[in-house]
Chains A and B, each alone.
Chain A
Amino acid sequence: MQNGPLRIEDFVAQTDGVNLSDLPPAAQERLNDKLADLTGGSDGSGISQRDTDGILVSKDLDGREGFETIADALAGQNLQNAGDQTGSPPDSDAAILVEPGTYDDGPLQIETTGLTLLSREGPGETTVESRVTVSADDVTVAGLSVSPPDPGDAQGADEAIRVDSSADDVTITDNVVEDFARNTGTEFTGVDGINIFGGDGTDAVENVTVRGNIIRQLQNTGNEETDYPGGAAGISLQGNVRNPTVENNTIEQIGEEVTNFGFGIVVRGTGNNDQTPTEVTIENNDIDSVLSDPDSATVGVGIGIGLKPGGASDVTFAGNDISNTEFLFEDKTATVDLGSFVEDNTVDRGALVEDGDFEGVPGGAPERNVISDSIQFALNFATTGSTVEVVPGTYDDEKTFNGVNGLQIGSQDAGTDPESAPLADISIVGINGRPNIPGWVQILDPGVTFEGFEVTDEVNGYGLAAFEPDVTVRDVTISDVTNGLFVPSAADVLIENCTVENYSFYGAVVSGRGSFGGATPTISNTIFNGASGGGAVGVGVVETEATLQGNEITGNEFEGEDGAGVGMFSGAAATVQENVIANNDDGIFVAGGASASDVAATSNDIVDNRVGVANETATAVNANGNWWGDQGGPSGTNEEPNQGPVTADSWSTQSGPDWNTNGGSTSAGATGFSIASTETTRTAESWGGPMPPAEPDRAE
């Protein structure tokens, strides 16, 4: 008989067909609260005549019939307060109810079919300091805190809760497995919180449910003189296991950064047979902080599967929340669709590598699909020409260069040694939103596509710098930088649909200086918002040709009059078409050393600048067909007329995108006369603004 308030466990123990695992923990908690109100009694003595109809285990029997240890209850020995009876093993379907206390009974082996091992007041009050092994069908283990001692090299002592011997229909629910550490021993062995072990190749462990448990603080350092003797796993499904369900568990702090490798949940084989788990359901688990020793060659993995070929299709993942692990997911069969995985589960961030090259990497699978916590780390396994998709998140611990976080795509030597460009033709693409890199990005291999990101810091003065041909930067926002983009004069370089804002100097520098030149990079449909950060020049072009098309370049000023929307400097020429160039000091500035005859600035909106076009050269710049903000043509709504030789014989009588050349030329045609070029005779003011900065150093 017991006193005290009733708990939901009492009702479960009394009712056939009802399991504690049927009740969500939150519902259990509030039911227990209400039961305490109803049955606690004003003096706390609670309900009387309370016989839970189970086998009682208590550290304080106080005259009641029962056992003082769980081991005695399982063996049916040393029964207390029962007269002449000394006890007998529990019958099938019996319930052992464990009262609060710490039980250090040695390994517990459950071999009774249908047995329920249940704590009376939950894992917060009931600790088992030994391993619990279930070897019989229909067993339930619920509500215990399990913290076995350091297993060292002891065989079979390295799992806190284990289901084996082909046991079927076992439920492990609402337990806490914690503070399980292996800090001695020299053998290669693992530490598992809950292990479902199908060691018999002919008789599977079937229909096991692992639900609502908390597994935390597992580590495996082994003896400190031994390097990396093994790993740690929160929940491990191994070998011949059929139809297991792992759901609603919380798994955290696995590996604790001192362990060779770790898994939150792992589905894998055994050395006993060639079977791997089938019909596996892994749903609604919360996995956080699975981290290996940073000095080890292996990592922490949120969910990992290592199955025989074809086995991955037998695993269902849904509703899991995974965060702060080195690999959020690892598929050694390289068959799981990672895009579907991130749609069906929640990850705090992740770079998706499919068919990654893991040749020579520990783990035995040369090709894997992984979701990496780090883009930079993922690139180690990406293959030439592949696509790495990246989900939204903040990628703030990528590569550090000059003390600043950033992403290095490719090799420093790519330009001189193509063999050193393993990331050639790779695409890195943000999906399902825009991942944020609070740092710099450098593209050092050719053929790279970088798409769909936010870049919000810089190194060596630039937010994003490319150095090789065939690079595409698309749909990227670059902000909070001195200079936004470094665009090399290299073949087939394209910047499109980007936004550059909060820059204090140049939005972009297109450069043919140094080792670059001879190509015509293109910047299209990109916004350069100089006003947002005090930018001086939207796009600066130097020693190269460039195509600027469809861009919106606004608000670039420097000390009141020496900024420019587009600045063309020594050796520069450009086709500037279909842009909106507004509210800058100079809309377009052509320096004395530029190749003005090769500048075509046509079909743009050039409005509301201090000067529309300022040309320092003696050669006229072709500026026909632009909308100047007024049907009267130059200088329209710009504060001052164009400066230097600027040809604007015709102009558009409306703004883009429907530019025309009806202004000027139309009236000439009507009269049958040709009018002279409207070259301005006003000398361009000397450029007092900043010159384009040099290209940044490559990240090392």
Chain B
Amino acid sequence: MNRRQVLATMGALGGGGAVVTGTGAFTSVEANRDVSVQVADDTDALLRMAAAGEGNDEYVTTNGGELGINLTSSNPTDAGGQGVNANATTVIADLFEIQNQGTQEIDVEVTPLSFIDTGSGNTLVVLVVPQTGFPSVTLGVGDTETYSLLVDSFSGGGNLQISDTITVTGEAI
């Protein structure tokens, strides 16, 4: 079992800005809300976790050997983006991947796959979206599953926070 930690927060609201969705890089303009997703260190060599290398690697960090996903102002993009837009759905496609580096076929499951925070008519949603199998995926030796992140803030956002833990389970079939 490998434990991963997911943290998402939303800070103060700001002006509107552009949202780029779909594959490719994400650029935020004048956004000052933060969504932070961090993944803790994985010491199990059977599973490799890494940035997917599809253009959104800036949101993936490594700190002390731990893989993290950070969309907050503490991890601004090179272009200055520091968070997601209010009242918008932000798609960060192909963000990270899990690879079976073991010696046998395994089932990989990430739980939970959704986080919701609500307050004062606002909601903040983070979905971890697997590419090929839901909710779990079978990975042969050397196979990889890629995960995207979908973040929705509605309607105006607000001082919402999501702080939670996800569990990644790799179990031999």
Is the CB of A47 closer than 8 A to any CB of chain B? yes
Name the segment of A31-39, A162-170, A326-334 touching the other chain: A31-39
CA distance in complex: A24, B127 (Å):
15
Name the segment of B8-16, B32-40, B64-72, B106-114 touching the other chain: B106-114
Is the CB of B53 closer than 8 A to any CB of chain A? no
- Docked complex: A225-254 residues within 8 A CB-CB of B: none
Is the CB of A27 closer than 8 A to any CB of chain B? yes
Is the CB of B104 closer than 8 A to any CB of chain A? no
CA distance in complex: A217, B115 (Å):
36
Set A33, A38, A52: member contacting B129, Cβ < 8 A? A38
Chain A to chain B contacts (Cβ below 8 Å), 18 pairs = A10-B134, A11-B114, A11-B127, A14-B113, A15-B115, A18-B114, A23-B116, A24-B154, A26-B154, A31-B125, A35-B150, A47-B130, A47-B133, A47-B134, A49-B136, A50-B133, A50-B134, A53-B135
Is the CB of A12 closer than 8 A to any CB of chain B? yes
Chain A contacts of B130 at CB under 8 A? Answer: 47
Minimum C-beta distance from A49 to chain B (A): 4
Set B114, B118, B129, B150: member contacting A12, Cβ < 8 A? B114
User: For chain A, what secondary structure do more than half of its interface residues adopt (helix, strand, loop), or is it mixed?
Assistant: helix
Chain B contacts of A47 at CB under 8 A? Answer: 130-134
Chain A contacts of B116 at CB under 8 A? Answer: 18, 22-23
Of B21, B91, B134, B148, most buried by chain A (CB within 10 Å of CB) is B134
Minimum C-beta distance from A154 to chain B (A): 40
Is the CB of B123 closer than 8 A to any CB of chain A? yes
Are A6 and B134 in touch, CB under 8 angstroms?
A: yes
Are A22 and B138 in touch, CB under 8 angstroms?
A: no
Are A11 and B152 in touch, CB under 8 angstroms?
A: no
Set A23, A38, A50: member contacting B91, Cβ < 8 A? A38
Set B22, B123, B137: member contacting A24, Cβ < 8 A? B123
Are B111 and A23 in touch, CB under 8 angstroms?
A: no
Give the size of the chain B interface in residues (CB under 8 angstroms): 30
Is the CB of A48 closer than 8 A to any CB of chain B? yes
A sample of 15 more A-B contacts (CB under 8 A), given A24-B155, A35-B150, A48-B132, is A6-B129, A11-B127, A15-B114, A16-B112, A24-B123, A24-B154, A27-B123, A27-B125, A31-B152, A34-B21, A38-B150, A39-B129, A39-B131, A51-B136, A52-B135
CA distance in complex: A10, B129 (Å):
11
Of A23, A33, A38, A51, most buried by chain B (CB within 10 Å of CB) is A38
Are A37 and B152 in touch, CB under 8 angstroms?
A: no
Chain B contacts of A6 at CB under 8 A? Answer: 129, 134
Interface range for A: 20 to 34
CA distance in complex: A15, B132 (Å):
19
Are B112 and A15 in touch, CB under 8 angstroms?
A: yes
CA distance in complex: A53, B134 (Å):
10
Are B150 and A22 in touch, CB under 8 angstroms?
A: no
Minimum C-beta distance from B3 to chain A (A): 17
- Docked complex: A1-23 residues within 8 A CB-CB of B: 6, 8, 10-12, 14-16, 18, 22-23
Chain B contacts of A12 at CB under 8 A? Answer: 114
Are B125 and A14 in touch, CB under 8 angstroms?
A: no
Are A31 and B133 in touch, CB under 8 angstroms?
A: no
Is the CB of B2 closer than 8 A to any CB of chain A? no
Are A38 and B148 in touch, CB under 8 angstroms?
A: yes
Minimum C-beta distance from B86 to chain A (A): 12
**Top 7 closest pairs, chain A to chain B, by CB:** A49-B133, A11-B114, A27-B154, A15-B112, A50-B134, A15-B114, A30-B89
Are A14 and B150 in touch, CB under 8 angstroms?
A: no
CA distance in complex: A11, B93 (Å):
17
Are B154 and A49 in touch, CB under 8 angstroms?
A: no
Chain A contacts of B89 at CB under 8 A? Answer: 27, 30-31, 33-34
Are A27 and B152 in touch, CB under 8 angstroms?
A: yes
Of A14, A24, A34, most buried by chain B (CB within 10 Å of CB) is A34
Chain A contacts of B93 at CB under 8 A? Answer: 38
Are A15 and B133 in touch, CB under 8 angstroms?
A: no
CA distance in complex: A142, B127 (Å):
20
CA distance in complex: A18, B164 (Å):
13
- Among residues of B, the one whose C-beta sits closest to the C-beta of A24 is B154
- Docked complex: B49-79 residues within 8 A CB-CB of A: none
Are B134 and A49 in touch, CB under 8 angstroms?
A: yes
Chain B contacts of A35 at CB under 8 A? Answer: 127, 129, 150
Are B129 and A22 in touch, CB under 8 angstroms?
A: no
Chain A contacts of B91 at CB under 8 A? Answer: 34, 37-38
Set A15, A18, A34, A51: member contacting B134, Cβ < 8 A? A51
Chain A contacts of B123 at CB under 8 A? Answer: 22-24, 27
Given contacts A23-B123, A34-B91, contact A48 B133 (CB under 8 A): yes
CA distance in complex: A50, B91 (Å):
21
Chain A contacts of B133 at CB under 8 A? Answer: 47-50
Chain A contacts of B21 at CB under 8 A? Answer: 34, 37
CA distance in complex: A51, B137 (Å):
10
Contact with B along A349-361 (1 / 0, CB 8 A): 0000000000000
CA distance in complex: A508, B91 (Å):
68
- Among residues of A, the one whose C-beta sits closest to the C-beta of B107 is A49
Minimum C-beta distance from B58 to chain A (A): 20
CA distance in complex: A16, B129 (Å):
17
Minimum C-beta distance from B42 to chain A (A): 22
- Docked complex: B82-132 residues within 8 A CB-CB of A: 89, 91, 93, 111-116, 118, 123, 125, 127, 129-132
Chain B contacts of A33 at CB under 8 A? Answer: 89
CA distance in complex: A47, B137 (Å):
10
Minimum C-beta distance from A120 to chain B (A): 13
- Among residues of B, the one whose C-beta sits closest to the C-beta of A14 is B135
